[in-house]
Structures are given as C-alpha cells and as structure tokens.
Amino acid sequence: MTEGPLSVDTLVERIVSSLAPLRDFPMPLTEVLGMPVAEDVVAEVSLPPFDNSAMDGYAVRAADVASASPEAPVHLPVVGEISAGRAAHLALSPGTAVKIMTGAPVPAGADAVVPYEWTDRGVARVRIERAADLGANIRRAGEAVRSGDLVVEHGTVLGPRHLGLLASVGRATVRSRPRPRVVVISTGSELRDPGTPLGHDSIYDGNSYLLAAAARQAGATVYRVGIVPDDVRSFTEALSDQLVRADLVITSGGVSEGDYDVVKEALRGLGTVWFGQVAMQPGKPQGFGVVGEDEVPIFCLPGNPVSAYVSFETFVLPALRTLMGRTPASRPPRRARLTDPITSTVGRRQMVRARYGTDRGGAFVTPVGGHGSHMIGDLASANALVVVDEESSGVSAGDMVQVLCLDEDF
C-alpha cells in the first residue's frame, strides 16, 4: 500500500521539527561571516580608548590661539611630537604646542588640535593663522562605543560591519556555530564529470555542482563527493565513508520508480529514511530521514536538475538554516504581479521558474520556460520561483502571486 502524497508544508514541518541548531562554541572571527552570534556581546573597552587627534597638526590650548588670524598669527614653540602608536606621556605647558598625528593621544593640558593647513608646519616654532574652538579636532574617549555597551545582540547574523566592530572592541572569538558540513553525492551510471568525454548514453553531472553551490551559498561547508554509479554497494560504501564528516547529506537521483533507483534501494531497508511523494511540481519523489550511528539527516532529492534545485530550496535550505540557528527557516515569499498566465495541476503546489523585477507598477514576475524538470537552461535565467497553491488550477496575467526571490539573503 502506498500513502498519498504529503503536503509540502507537512514535510517542511517534519524536517524542521526534527532538527536543532548545532552546538555553539567560541569561534574565530574569520569563520563566522553570515552566521548568527550565540551571545550578547558587551564591549570591554571604550572606543576610542583615549582622547585622540582627528587631524595631523598641533595640540594646543585653545586659549593660546584664540587671537590667531592670517594678519596676526600666533607663534608657539613646538616642544615635542606624538604619533599614533608612538606616544610618550607628554603634558602640554601653557604657551606651547606639540606636533600630533591623527589617532595619537592628546597630551594632558591640550584642549584643541590645529590642523597643519592652518599653520606653516614649523618644526621648532609654529605659526598659527586661525583660532581653534575648545575641543576642536579631538575625538573623545568612549565617543564611539562605551565599555559596557551591548555592541552585537544575540541572534544577529554577522556581516562585515559586525566583524569589524567585534575586532575593534578586542574580541578574537565570538560564540557562534560551526558551519554545517554538507556532503553532496550524485547517483547515476549515466553521469560523467564535466571536462571528461561523453559516451552515447551519458550526461554531465550538473546536480552535484548545483547542490554544492546552493548549500555553500546557504552558509554550509560542502564536500562534493561527485558521482556514484547505480550500484547499491558502491552507494552504501560511499555514504558510510562520508558520514564521519557530515552534519547533513544530500543525494540526487535514484528515488523514483525505476528499476535502478539505487538510493531508495540502499536506504529503504534501514527503516530510518522515509521515501514517498510530495504534492509539489517539480520535486514529487523525495526521501528524508537519518543515517548512521550519529543519525545524520539525509535528503534524497530527485535527479531531474530542476526538481533537485526546487527540492533544495524547499526542504534542504530550511534544514540548513535550522542547523545554523537562523530564522525564519523557509524563505519568506514576496508578492508580485504576474505578467503571463500559469496553468497548474490541482493537488500539487507548482513551483514555477521566473524572473522577478520591479517597474513603475511595483514588483512583477514573469515565468521563464515550461514545466519540464530537465530544462536547466531556463533555470539559469530565473531568479525567482512563483508558488502556485495546491488548490489552484492556474493563475491569470495581472493576478498577484507569491514569489520566492532566490538570490536574496533573509
């Protein structure tokens, strides 16, 4: 007896609720771009840590240069020099100036910096032609960040600016999660590696590249195993070899009704992987479960390239995001005006390749290519998927539809 097709939402819910985020650790800053931080980060230093100069020039007392003008310049003896990172503990006596470079600590007693451009750049004595306000060109300690400030909130997805800030407050590591390690295996005796000759009955393995890149884009560390022939022993061996380094496994091919559907044949006996149909087009045959002692989640995606990709987007992406501790798990749909009609089969959610854009009328989306799940050429020109509900038999041009924008982070 075969069970009826599962709804997309039921399978997504099953997947997401069976997974938990990987354990968090103190991770080097260089490893955590795009990962959520698993702690509230509080600054332990102030920025700037000390009052420092915003300009190359002379540290002075504002009162000493208050009368300076081009017609009546003020002359001050230059009693020392302070550059960034090479600062003696100087104090400024009234009626003197100290040469100072941008970023260098302002000496005690100075309350303004006169930039070089207002002076003759004198070495022993400087001629100052403009008055400086009290505090001019001095960056105060703690002006940018105060010690004790919350600088990055728990759950923030770390981008370049967060990482710059974390390093600036002296953090070498931050609690986050390792990237999920994903193993990608293509099955099919007809498959050949790109760059090798094709036989009369072979095709190139596009899927392992497609799926590996999609997983990497989602934030995973990916091991692309490549091609395994339609042979249960070869597949079982390849899988058990790879399990030690996997937090998640993706296979493509061998899950439908064929006589050589190797993935299904190899895994069904374990009783830990569900195989069945999902009410989705493309991407009807699916397998999902766990394998090995560590119960590594495995996604057995259909071999047709578009089906494999749509299945990744629908089922694997939410799983990877759950392992990374990112929310929401699934891509939130946008709404857009459909420019051309779409027909759909009632009872299956149709995922239609499309191009999303905006014009004067707002967001629009145009289907590209047909429904064929082998039409990889159309897949490459799409940047979106239109989601047509299970109950719908089609959508008319001009209707508002739900769209997944594939290249957007969320």
- Interface with ligand MOO (CB under 6 A): 281-284, 302, 304, 307, 373
The residue with its CB nearest to ligand LQZAQKY5 is: 303
User: Which region among 34-42, 201-209, 238-246, 359-367 touches ligand LQZAQKY5 (by CB under 6 A)?
Assistant: 201-209
CB atoms within 10 A of CB 206: 17
Contacts of 242 (CB under 8 A, 6+ apart): 183, 185, 223, 225, 249
Read off the tokens for 102. 């941008």
What minimum distance in Å lies between the beta carbon of 285 and ligand MOO? Answer: 6
What minimum distance in Å lies between the beta carbon of 183 and ligand LQZAQKY5? Answer: 15
What minimum distance in Å lies between the beta carbon of 307 and ligand MOO? Answer: 3
Task: Tell me which H or E stretch contains 13.
Answer: helix 8-18
Closer residue to ligand LQZAQKY5 in complex, CB, 254/297 = 254
In the chain, count of helices (H) and strands (E)?
8, 27
What minimum distance in Å lies between the beta carbon of 167 and ligand LQZAQKY5? Answer: 41
Residue 402 site contact among ligand LQZAQKY5, ligand MOO, none (CB < 5 to 8 Å, cut-off depends on kind): none
Closer residue to ligand MOO in complex, CB, 36/282 = 282
Residue 257 site contact among ligand LQZAQKY5, ligand MOO, none (CB < 5 to 8 Å, cut-off depends on kind): ligand LQZAQKY5
Task: Tell me which H or E stretch contains 311.
Answer: helix 305-311
Closer residue to ligand LQZAQKY5 in complex, CB, 96/252 = 252
Residue 190 site contact among ligand MOO, ligand LQZAQKY5, none (CB < 5 to 8 Å, cut-off depends on kind): ligand LQZAQKY5
Q: How far apart are CA 76 and CA 98, in angstroms?
A: 9
Give yes or no for residue 373 binding ligand LQZAQKY5 (CB under 6 A): yes
Closer residue to ligand MOO in complex, CB, 48/282 = 282
Contact 58, 128 (CB under 8 A): yes
Task: Tell me which H or E stretch contains 252.
Answer: strand 248-252
The residue with its CB nearest to ligand MOO is: 307
Beta strands 296-301 and 285-291, pairing class: antiparallel
Closer residue to ligand MOO in complex, CB, 280/406 = 280
Name which of 118, 68, 69, 124 is nearest 97 in CA terms.
124
Cis peptide bond upstream of 73, omega within 30: no
Phi and psi at 27, nearest 5°, equal -115, 145
Q: How many residues bind ligand LQZAQKY5 (CB under 6 A)?
A: 26
In the region spanning residues 246 to 265, those forming contacts with ligand LQZAQKY5, defined by CB under 6 A, are: 252-258, 261
What minimum distance in Å lies between the beta carbon of 381 and ligand MOO? Answer: 19
Read off the tokens for 44. 């332990």
The amino acid at 197: P
In the region spanning residues 271 to 310, those forming contacts with ligand LQZAQKY5, defined by CB under 6 A, are: 282, 284-285, 302-305, 307
Find the length of the chain.
Answer: 410
Task: Tell me which H or E stretch contains 102.
Answer: none
Residue 287 site contact among ligand MOO, ligand LQZAQKY5, none (CB < 5 to 8 Å, cut-off depends on kind): none
Q: How far apart are CA 250 and CA 314, in angstroms?
A: 13
Q: How far apart are CA 265 and CA 292, in angstroms?
A: 16
Neighbouring C-alpha atoms within 13 Å toward the C-beta of 366 = 7
Residue 405 site contact among ligand LQZAQKY5, ligand MOO, none (CB < 5 to 8 Å, cut-off depends on kind): none
What are the residues binding ligand LQZAQKY5 (CB under 6 A)? 186, 188, 190-191, 203, 205-208, 252-258, 261, 282, 284-285, 302-305, 307, 373
